[in-house]
Structures are given as C-alpha cells and as structure tokens.
Copies of this chain bind each other. A is one copy, B any other.
Amino acid sequence: MSSPPSERATLLVSCPDRRGIVAALAQLLYGYGANILDSDQHTDSVAAQFFQRLHFDLSELQTDRGTLERAIFEVAERFGMRFELRYQNEVKRVAIFVSKYDHCLYDLLLRHQSGELSCELPLIVSNHPDLERVARQFDVDFALVPMSKEDKSEGEQRQLELLRARRVDLLVLARYMQILSESFISSFAGKIINIHHSFLPAFVGGKPYHQAYERGVKLIGATAHYASAVLDEGPIIEQDVVRSSHRDSVADLVRKGRDLEKVVLARAVRLHLEDRVLVYGNKTVVFE
C-alpha cells in the first residue's frame, strides 16, 4: 500500500450518465492489478452527465501501461467517455506570465520551492523587465516579450514558441496585465489559469478594486478561472472573499486583495496539477 507516488496514476472521466460506469471502471482497474487509492464521482442530474476521478496505484500492475491504456480506451468508447489518464511520474511543466505585480509570482515560486506544487517551473514570461530580478532570485529562466499596443500577434507568436520549446503543460497568468487573443487561448484551451481580482461575475474588467470601492461592498473577492475567449467569463475553479469596510481605501483593498489573489490562484493551480478539475460547459467539477 505504500508504493512511491511515482507509481501512481489518475484517470479523469466524463460522459453521459448511464448505469454500470462505476462498476466497469472499477472492474477494469482491479482486473489489471491497479489498486484504487481514492475515487470521487459526481452526477449532474440536470445535464445528465457523469464525472469521475480515480486515483490508483500501479506498483502491482499485472500488465504493461500500453495494455491498460487500450483497455481504458475500449471502455471509454463503449460509454462515450472523454477521459484523461495521467501518470504521476510525468510531472507537469508550468510557465508563469507576469507583468509588474510580483506577489502572485513570489507566492507560486515559494510554494514550488517548498514542494507544495508538484510541477516543474521552466519559464517566466513578462512584457516588462521588472520581475527579472525575482526570476533570478529563484533561478528560473525569464523571457522578456514586449507587447505592442497595435499588434499583439507578433508577441503572442513569440510566447507560443517559448511555450512549445519548453514543452509547457500549464500556463498561469499571475496578474499578467495583457488580454490574450482568441487564437492564443484556443492554442492552449483548458491549460490557462487566470486570477481575476474580484468575486466574478461582479466587477469584470481592469479596475475591480476601484469598482468595489465605488459600490461600497462589504467583502472583496478573487476568482481563479480557466481563460476563455470572453474576458473574465471562463469556467471558475476557485473563489474566496475577505471582509472590507468603509475604512478601506482603494489602496487597502489592493493590499487585502493581494493575500486573497495569492491563495486563490495557488489553490486553483494545485487542484489542476493534481488532476482534480473537470470542465464541462462553462463550469467545473472540482474533486477536492
């Protein structure tokens, strides 16, 4: 039971709800000697969709991984499943996009350094040179990709090349202050996590703390979501709030918000890295 984590895998599955899915997958894994360590399932009875996350141990697998994969593929065909199978020894590679704010960047770097985020961090990309010093403090490569106001396509082309060259699996927008083009987003669909500094759908756009101040809300929030073609409208992964009051200036909201943004973004990244998030429609199933 105490095999090393590198001998583990996670299967994420979604399909139209039908009888027998749970039994079919459990039987399949058991039959090949894969031991289920953790499983979680959800049925959206409105959408009639089934979702499951299976985390299992391969250390006593009685076949090779190719055979296991083919067997899963066959079950998936039978039930009309979309699935993702991830081996834990294939560590995800994450790039961080930043502009000038350093708090989310520092937070991710420190969590990575402490072993809290199981991923590699091969690259930081920015449209400003300011945070190169932070990248250097933590010995991560830093690429300056300036973005022209008139034409972003050149900059985005350069970014995509960098991401491909480093084989990046996940792109984290850690208060990156540029709007990505639809084509860029579709190149990385479902692989871009953004942190928005409000409790979406309240206060979309660039100045949420100012809007919150004007409206006189008694809580401010932060939202981590997958980037989608429509700004601030992608599937939400995680949200949280903190209390504010009439005493808080915009600067106070910004300060309080920093702590919130860090924690909410880090939770979302962690959930994604552990293959706990399934997207359907514009919503997420998060198996915590």
Contacts and interface: CB of A to CB of B under 8 A. Distances in A.
A95 to B, nearest CB: 22
A59 to B, nearest CB: 11
A259 to B, nearest CB: 6
Nearest to A212: B201
A31 to B, nearest CB: 8
A37 interface: yes
B19 A246 contact: no
A244 to B, nearest CB: 9
A284 B29 CA distance: 29
Interface in A192-219: 199-203, 215-219
A33 to B, nearest CB: 8
B1 A216 contact: no
A90 interface: no
A253 interface: no
B23 A30 contact: yes
B116 A110 contact: no
Interface stretch (A80-88, A147-155, A165-173, A232-240): A232-240
Interface residues of A, number: 66
Interface stretch (A38-46, A120-128, A182-190): A38-46
B48 A36 contact: no
Given A26-B27, A200-B217, A43 B37 contact: yes
Interface in A263-288: 263, 282-286, 288
Given A216-B235, A219-B199, A284-B246, A110 B114 contact: no
Contact of A286 (B26, B114, B246): B246
A241 B241 contact: yes
B285 A246 contact: yes
B247 A42 contact: yes
A75 to B, nearest CB: 13
Interface of A: 1-2, 17, 19-20, 22-23, 26-27, 29-31, 33, 35-46, 48, 60, 102-103, 106, 110, 114, 116, 137, 199-203, 215-219, 221, 235-241, 245-247, 249, 255, 258-259, 263, 282-286, 288
Given A27-B27, A45-B249, A216-B283, 7 more contacts: A23-B30, A38-B43, A103-B110, A116-B255, A199-B202, A201-B215, A218-B238
